[in-house]
Structure 1
């Protein structure tokens, strides 16, 4: 079922590996990120649950005898299953009964509330998160520097990126949407703007707690506040104040429900705080760093353009960090790792930490600028952060890196810190 014009994704190998281990894989992620297309590359049969010509019939069958929908060559793809939760339970039962691996792939653009499926599927159905394309997947990064290689102890790096500030602004605005990557439209941000409008008027946004009413103006104000505070552990009160500033009102409970909905729709893709063993008893800040699944959504929510980014250096820097976090999450998870950030009350911080299951970790500072001042600041910040870690317990970091937007070359400084342009990085 392979598509002739398919652009390979890092998820390809991850999906195949998990199908060898589990009876079913639930491939989740935002709309338009390429889940169904990727799943079709390995599926032997499929059914589209939301196909307009068969959707109502599919729902009726799912309620009465969902096993009928599972019939077909394996692995079988069940596309956009989330509105028919009985499918999940039927797959869980079938996998439990047969004990076979690689039987089903479920794809969905939203995560159903926990109460919907009767059984969790733990041990039978593994959950994977897919995102829009990283720069390496879209071809804008040449992949000269590999995170995997750095974790394996390679100290010799070299590479030339050649991305200009104009290129970076365009890539932030266009995003990693496969449709935009293939067509590279003149109006780079249109798809992301359309995405937000569709989300804001989609009935899935009304699937809140029973006593919470949905308001498009309120949700628009929440999304805009998140965009203004992107790549930071913004508090709920800050968002509430921003919403009030637009003339709307919102309670803590309503905000919590709205944020949960944005997470279930995979629009929010926050970064978890890292809690390492420290040399001192300094308190670690525990708020999650807010981020969207793609930087183009930040630009769209701010009603900005690529030219606007270039004229507003601070906003440009935050949007670039959002893009870097997207790429780093994709790369980290392809290595079976996780992405974190660090900030403590003593002012020490690190933009991104990749932690692997074997205990190896690497620390990354993200810098829009590549001038001497920016690099020096990044180096000092990294060293101050590492000095606070109890490396006898946590190990020495596998690498320290400053990830930049427009440095021409990747190289290793005398102090051992790697300077890497984002246009050279891959997993």
Structure 2
């Protein structure tokens, strides 16, 4: 476990601290190696009478199974790390917090989307808050504000964006490194590849088998490699079934498991009454662009590079949404006429920000074709449309339309 001095500050820290003040059970969900345990430790550093239980210790796990009531007995906040390892604890936690409704009773961490696990007998409606921890954002890595999402809704295309010194090769390097804390500390390509190889082995041999009985791990690995080559594209179960010679039902189950353990993310399709020709197919992206880059290393065609840059950008947006004051929902848009927008952000008032991603250092008027379609159809609901590209400056392309450097995602202030 990393010491506080080695730990990069996470924006989730404040979210967890706030939740512990008014919620009985706080759950930190996220992928393996994102720093959940260290973050939870730091959040309890100043809380009196806190207690820590680590379920990766076989003795601790055996105690939890043998006598869950005694195991959970503590005067203050109890941290239970990797709680998905002992599903039997769930009902006892529910019983404890029903009898003692003080906030901050339990801080749970897990390497799977806990409320999606079939082994858990009951959720905790009204008793819990879940905070998702993803790999580090670029703003967390570099100490920058990570405020693009809020600024886009506040200022539209007039938001203040700093010129960028980064170019396409720089963005590809950032994407290939990813955001796992251990990965960004590795300076050589060999050591970085070694990390991703070990990471994937852990996911396949430990995390997946904790949540499901997979008979043929080789099929799952083949699926992961195939999905990495398609990251940023629409999820086509029939095509995957044909390419891998697996039943479509198996492919669907495996995709669900990979989402459950935070390896991939499905971006739902967006539609509105004004856009009835929209298709309903979700888009699939890897939660960490670095892992996707490792799995497709050596593939240098334009489609693969475009998919990697899009995966990187959507990952930054998804992270930022978790702490955004606007809290928009993330979708993508595609219709039967060939119009597509890589990311559609919609807030609770129905306002929409559209984002196209271009793995190029120049932008053309035609790159705004799909954004203009949404603008015409949505009218006042359309807040702004952006093309995020690998160039250096912000330029206007019409009312509420602009191109901005990809680095604007993390260098822009939210105000």
TM-score in same-fold range (> 0.5): yes
SS in structure 2 at match of 1:274: coil
Give the structure 2 partner of residue 198 of structure 1. Answer: 202
Is residue 269–residue 293 contact of structure 1 (8 Å, CA) maintained in 2? yes
Structure 2 CA distance for partners of 1:224 and 1:251, relative to 1, 3 Å: same
Question: Is 1:319 aligned with 2:303?
Answer: no
Give the structure 1 partner of residue 354 of structure 2. Answer: 363
What is the rounded CA distance, in whole Å, between the counterparts of 1:295 and 1:356 in structure 2? 26
Report the alpha carbon displacement of residue 317 of structure 1 after superposing the two structures with TM: 0.9
What is the rounded CA distance, in whole Å, between the counterparts of 1:152 and 1:82 in structure 2? 39
Is residue 146–residue 320 contact of structure 2 (8 Å, CA) maintained in 1? no
Is residue 272–residue 288 contact of structure 1 (8 Å, CA) maintained in 2? yes
Is residue 157–residue 411 contact of structure 1 (8 Å, CA) maintained in 2? no
CA offsets, 1:127-182, max 9 Å, x none?
2222101211111x844863212322362413022123222222121110111224
SS in structure 1 at match of 2:266: coil
* Mapping of residues 4-403 of structure 1, within 5 Å: 4-43=5-44, 44=47, 45-51=50-56, 55-72=57-74, 74-112=76-114, 114-139=117-142, 142-143=144-145, 146-153=148-155, 155-187=158-190, 188-202=192-206, 204-205=208-209, 207-208=211-212, 213-244=214-245, 250-278=246-274, 282-302=276-296, 304=297, 308=298, 311-335=300-324, 336-373=327-364, 376-389=365-378, 391=379, 395-403=380-388
What is the rounded CA distance, in whole Å, between the counterparts of 2:9 and 2:163 in structure 1? 23
Give the structure 2 partner of residue 247 of structure 1. Answer: none
Structure 2 CA distance for partners of 1:316 and 1:122, relative to 1, 3 Å: same
Is residue 142–residue 424 contact of structure 1 (8 Å, CA) maintained in 2? no
What is the rounded CA distance, in whole Å, between the counterparts of 2:92 and 2:42 in structure 1? 24
What is the rounded CA distance, in whole Å, between the counterparts of 1:25 and 1:123 in structure 2? 11
Structure 2 CA distance for partners of 1:115 and 1:313, relative to 1, 3 Å: closer
Give the structure 2 partner of residue 424 of structure 1. Answer: 408
What is the rounded CA distance, in whole Å, between the counterparts of 1:186 and 1:48 in structure 2? 36
Structure 2 CA distance for partners of 1:241 and 1:12, relative to 1, 3 Å: same
What is the rounded CA distance, in whole Å, between the counterparts of 2:146 and 2:27 in structure 1? 32
What is the rounded CA distance, in whole Å, between the counterparts of 1:330 and 1:298 in structure 2? 17
Structure 2 CA distance for partners of 1:334 and 1:411, relative to 1, 3 Å: farther
Structure 2 CA distance for partners of 1:40 and 1:268, relative to 1, 3 Å: same
Alignment root-mean-square deviation, CA: 2.5
What is the rounded CA distance, in whole Å, between the counterparts of 1:69 and 1:117 in structure 2? 18
What is the rounded CA distance, in whole Å, between the counterparts of 1:277 and 1:333 in structure 2? 28
What is the rounded CA distance, in whole Å, between the counterparts of 2:83 and 2:254 in structure 1? 22
Report the alpha carbon displacement of residue 230 of structure 1 after superposing the two structures with TM: 1.2
Is residue 75–residue 104 contact of structure 1 (8 Å, CA) maintained in 2? yes
Is residue 350–residue 381 contact of structure 2 (8 Å, CA) maintained in 1? no
Report the alpha carbon displacement of residue 345 of structure 1 after superposing the two structures with TM: 1.7
SS in structure 1 at match of 2:314: helix
What is the rounded CA distance, in whole Å, between the counterparts of 1:313 and 1:73 in structure 2? 58
CA offsets, 1:272-311, max 9 Å, x none?
1113231x6x332111111111112212222x0xxx46x4
Give the structure 2 partner of residue 408 of structure 1. Answer: 392
Structure 2 CA distance for partners of 1:145 and 1:158, relative to 1, 3 Å: farther
Runs of 5+ unmatched residues, structure 2: none
CA offsets, 1:56-110, max 9 Å, x none?
3323322333233334464332100101112222222222222222222111112
TM-score w.r.t. the length of structure 2 is 0.88
Is residue 2–residue 40 contact of structure 1 (8 Å, CA) maintained in 2? no
Structure 2 CA distance for partners of 1:17 and 1:284, relative to 1, 3 Å: farther
Structure 2 CA distance for partners of 1:91 and 1:208, relative to 1, 3 Å: closer
